A and B are shown apart, each in its own frame.
Chain A
Amino acid sequence: MTGPVIGPVTGVELGILGQLGLVLVGVVVAVTVPPAVRSRASGSVSVLLGAAGAATGAAALAGREGVVELPTSLPLGHVALQATPLGGFFMLVAGGVGLVAALYGIGAGHGPSTSRTFCAAFPVFLGALQMVPAAGDAVSFLVAWEVMAVASTVLVLAEHAARAEVRSAASWYAAMTHLSFVLLLLGFAVLAGTGGGTDWASLSRVDPGSPSASVAFVLLAAGFATKAGVVPVHVWLPRAHPAAPSQVSAVMSAAMVKMGVYGVLLVTLRLLPGGPSWWGTALLGAGAVSAVYGILQASVATDLKRLLAYSTTENIGLMFLAAGTGLMLRAHQVTPAADAAIVACLLLVASHAAFKAALFLATGSVVHASGERDLDRMGGLGARLPVTGLAFGVGALGAAALPVTAGFVAEWALLQAVIHGARPEDRLVAVIMPIAVTVVALTAGLALLTFVKAYGIAFLARPRSDGAAAAVESSGSMQTAMISAAVAVVALGVAPGALTRAASSAAGVEPGSATLTGVDLSGVGASLEPLALLVAGALALAVVGAVSAAGRRQRRPVELSWGCGGVRADPRMQYTATSYAEPLARVFDDALRPERDVVITHAAESRYLVERVQFRQQVVDLMETRLYHPGLRLVDRAGTAGRRLQNGSIHRYLGYSFLALVAVLLVVTL
């Protein structure tokens, strides 16, 4: 597979070739190694693959260059792989996530995730994921994209035998991901037709102001948005994430959806820089809607993985919002704030990758240990799964954008960019920026509630089911994977300087005078040093702790401290995830429209005596029921009507052929 490379091989080229080789090795290992050690052997290869991707990405970010051209048997010419700083950033993110997910997969080995198909598809998925940002022309990009889509569909299907909903989720996913592919194909075709070639250089010859550029932008943006899970094409996310094994969900959510963001940045920054202002506005609008809708759905979700999936939609929305802000401000010549917004977008990408990986892996560990995915049946897991609880807690802090995590730095950067973007001269900008601040703020507030709910209900208080009560901590490699993701969340938050510099070079903007521990958005005159904040907090905590310890009075253990005057604590008295989100669901009743069902059973003796009250609440995705179901019903009806054309009679089929022949002859002669 590795083609003839001419001349000395650079480090980046070696890295790309190494990744391709490791994919091959991974597949061979998965097919040949016996089941007992398959997951370990295949997992180790995937770990190496992820590490190779991260290293190559880092090298590309540092400015190293390299081009690898591979001959293919397709009639499309060769596949060109080339590393750029922007691509390198995303390759680094994908590699890092792949590494921890693969490490987790080693220990999670049981059931369908040790099957031959699964073990072969995982390295292929990782490899394709890491090759998408390395693609040097439209054809290679689409090839890598399609391999990524197919491999991930196979992985989503891993547990299809055990759970029926997996099949439906996989078909939703397959349909949406191919919709994305078709849109991208059309978009690139428009660009290639105008530019006269499929390599990036030819595509970027298209004038961004021309109508064909706008058509291509709309097609490409829609395609990338579908992959990224932006509302209203997000419907596959809350289905596919709960269906897939946790390490796959982690890679899909933390890395794969980011390729949509990469695509948008590739088109708007590299291929068609300087597009009209409405491009940015459109991205911003789509991002704002996704952010609010995603977090609202997440805040009322009770399935932990569904909650995380909707939170992904929210975060992708924020990234689109940041990218859109950057583009719009660039079009209006507010360059410093625009640069800050694009850097903020990349910071969001990296921080989301870190905390979402930690959250999904920890969730996987919870499911593994307790067999429960429903938050309403968890509780008290913090004491039973201390490492998982720690990883989830740190991830949740990041997702809630609290100091001092990576999420906090990213959100701070985004807010700074937005508040420095408004200039009253540009009316549209002046109107949009306050709305953007509102969206970011509302999203942040609801994310806070969502993750307090997720952590508090799952890990604190008393277990709400037998599964949760009997949970035991998962294996060593899973713990290592979770903890390394959690460490990344904190490390990127405490020392964001290096990341900011990387993001600046990836976005091609002037990096501020950043130190290792500080972010300096010099363009907008704002700086942040989370380490100083951490030191201050630690000092305060130490002082309070010292005063506290001076009391020296031991805590007396009791059954129940007050318990509303009760004598025993029943786990059923606790608030559940549903009840926790109830006030919020009421406030946003019009936007969520939850289906509530109250059944009251009266006692036989008198209808004034109530025997039992049953309450059921379900929040359905309105986009799905209002937008997709009518469309699907229409297609269904057309299909039923079409079926009448075939009744199995050979005479009818021959008749069709005959009619077709006559029709063709008529067309030719007339």
Chain B
Amino acid sequence: MSESMYAQLVGLCAAVLLLCAVLIVWRRSLHGQIRLLAAQGWGLGVLVAVLGIHEGDGQLMIVAVLVLALKGIVLPRVLTRATVTDNGDLREETPLINTTASLILVALLMMLAYLVSRPVQALGSTPPVAAVPVGMAVTLFGFLVLSTRRHAVSQLIGFLLLDNGIGTIAFLTAGGVPLVVELGVSLDVLLVVLILQVLTSRIRAEFGGADLDDLTELRD
């Protein structure tokens, strides 16, 4: 793989990650958001694979396959199952901040991500380092979704977005984490999602909806 092609591939993957994150903020349909999350998982997997091929690192290739399988296929499936049983209520109707404002916030967060990743840029001017702000931005967008959406599944999506962002930063700066750690983290995430999925379905069975605003009385 030539250097310019490597740079372009890393750039393209980063752009896909970013675009998916923005579109997740933009769309209201939960199914659409999940599909975008899957696409983002694929983008992250391909990014890891590109890094692996460039470094000639076999372990990274395994991680790539793992990421692809987990974030591109398994987690979206689980999420879809969480929404499928929902009685047709598949839209995030009233987020705390309206979509237009969230989108403008996204633009500002992007700038913030770019500014705060200044120290990381000192590491060098390789293509992965140049793309670090993308990871930072995805993390911030994840936080935004997590803190402004009412639907429990939307919040889950925000959490996964956050996780994807952190993963992106890790792969771009350190060339990935050791396989064992990655495995552990992935399993953790899977576990969290599964537990939340079970929780959501139980809540729904009990209260008939998963709107978090109705759940303020769940203290005991």
Contacts and interface: CB of A to CB of B under 8 A. Distances in A.
A431 interface: yes
A427 B101 contact: no
A428 B100 CA distance: 25
A584 interface: no
B118 interface: yes
Interface string B43-69: 000000000000000000000000000
Interface string B152-178: 000000000000000000000000000
A428 B112 CA distance: 10
A635 interface: no
A393 B115 CA distance: 44
A590 B102 CA distance: 13
A430 B118 CA distance: 12
B111 interface: yes
Range of interface residues on B (Cβ < 8 Å): under 10
Interface string B105-130: 00000010011001000000000000
A37 interface: no
Interface residues on A, range: under 10
A431 B111 CA distance: 6
Nearest to A428: B115
Contacts of A600: none
B11 to A, nearest CB: 14
A516 interface: no
A189 B25 CA distance: 52
A151 to B, nearest CB: 44
Contacts of B115: 427-428, 431
A590 B111 contact: no
Nearest to B133: A427
B123 to A, nearest CB: 15
Contacts of B114: 427, 430-431
- Looking at A430, A431, A434, which has the most chain B CB atoms within 10 Å of its CB? A431
Contacts of A587: 100
B101 A590 contact: yes
A663 interface: no
Interface in B87-107: 100-101
A435 interface: yes
A590 B101 CA distance: 10
A239 B111 CA distance: 37
Contacts of A431: 111, 114-115
A435 B101 contact: no
Interface string A410-436: 000000000000000001101100110
A431 B133 CA distance: 13
B36 to A, nearest CB: 24
A430 B114 CA distance: 9
B119 to A, nearest CB: 11
Contacts of A590: 101
Contacts of B101: 590
A434 B108 CA distance: 11
Contact of B118 (A427, A434, A435): A427
A428 B111 CA distance: 9
B110 to A, nearest CB: 9
A431 B137 CA distance: 14
Nearest to B98: A590
Contacts of A435: 111
B54 to A, nearest CB: 23
A326 B195 CA distance: 56
A186 B101 CA distance: 41
Nearest to B100: A587
Interface string A428-449: 1011001100000000000000
A310 to B, nearest CB: 22
Contacts of A430: 114
A431 B112 CA distance: 9
A119 B114 CA distance: 58
Q: Which of the listed residues B101, B111, B118 has the most CB atoms from chain A within 10 Å of its own CB?
A: B111
A587 B101 CA distance: 11
A280 B111 CA distance: 19
A435 B114 CA distance: 13
B141 to A, nearest CB: 17
B130 to A, nearest CB: 9
Nearest to A427: B118
Contacts of B111: 431, 434-435
A435 B110 CA distance: 12
Contacts of B100: 587
Nearest to B111: A431
A430 B121 CA distance: 14
Nearest to B118: A427
A634 B7 CA distance: 61
Nearest to A434: B111
Nearest to A431: B111
A587 B100 CA distance: 9
Nearest to B108: A435
Interface in A550-576: none
A421 to B, nearest CB: 16
Interface string A48-72: 0000000000000000000000000
Nearest to A438: B107
Nearest to A587: B100
A88 to B, nearest CB: 40
A431 B118 CA distance: 12
A440 to B, nearest CB: 16
Given A427-B118, A590-B101, 7 more contacts: A427-B114, A427-B115, A428-B115, A431-B114, A434-B111, A435-B111, A587-B100
12 contacts: A427-B114, A427-B115, A427-B118, A428-B115, A430-B114, A431-B111, A431-B114, A431-B115, A434-B111, A435-B111, A587-B100, A590-B101
Nearest 4 CB-CB pairings of A with B: A431-B111, A427-B118, A431-B115, A431-B114
